[in-house]
């Protein structure tokens, strides 16, 4: 079956530090890949996505590149802010029959950024 593995947290950084959260996936076929962010007490929000190999998704200073050869979609940001403190989920979407798509999530990585 499909699965997503992301680095376990928690991750604690100082403001303006460089962030990498690793994500690898297993899937039959060619999934679309996503990063979602969950701020404290809220639901999940789509942060960025990539739908085919070598695509780069970007948003709010975050980037991730779809690497088919290494089945990876690592999240990066050059300079984190306190407001980036949240839980980050890597996910993949595959067609599960007909035109239906299901998301498979990693377990999430808690990021805390200190001033």
Partner 1 sequence: NAGVTQTPKFQVLKTGQSMTLQCAQDMNHNSMYWYRQDPGMGLRLIYYSASEGTTDKGEVPNGYNVSRLNKREFSLRLESAAPSQTSVYFCASSDRSQGTYGYTFGSGTRLTVV
Alpha carbons 79 and 61: distance in angstroms, whole number: 8
Residue count at the site for partner 1 (CB under 8 A)?
Answer: 25
Enter the DSSP assignment of 67. B
98 binds partner 1 per the rule CB under 8 A: yes
Closest CA to 113 of 5, 6, 1, 15: 15
Element at 104 (helix H, strand E): strand 101-105
Q: Nearest distance from residue 87's CB to partner 1, in Å?
A: 9
106 binds partner 1 per the rule CB under 8 A: yes
37 binds partner 1 per the rule CB under 8 A: no
Residues that bind partner 1 (CB under 8 A): 32, 34, 36, 42-46, 49, 51, 89, 91, 93, 95, 97-103, 105-108
């Amino acid at each position: 079956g499909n699965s997503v593995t992301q680095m376990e947290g928690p991750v604690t950084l100082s403001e303006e530090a460089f962030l990498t959260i690793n994500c690898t996936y297993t899937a039959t076929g060619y999934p679309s890949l996503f990063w979602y962010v969950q701020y404290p007490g809220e639901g999940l929000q789509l942060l960025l996505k990539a739908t085919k190999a070598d695509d780069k998704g970007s948003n709010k200073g975050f980037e991730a590149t779809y690497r088919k050869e290494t089945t990876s979609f690592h999240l990066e940001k050059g300079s984190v802010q306190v407001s980036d403190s949240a839980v980050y989920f890597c996910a993949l979407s595959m067609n599960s029959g007909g035109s239906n798509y299901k998301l498979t999530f990693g377990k999430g990585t808690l990021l805390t950024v200190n001033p």
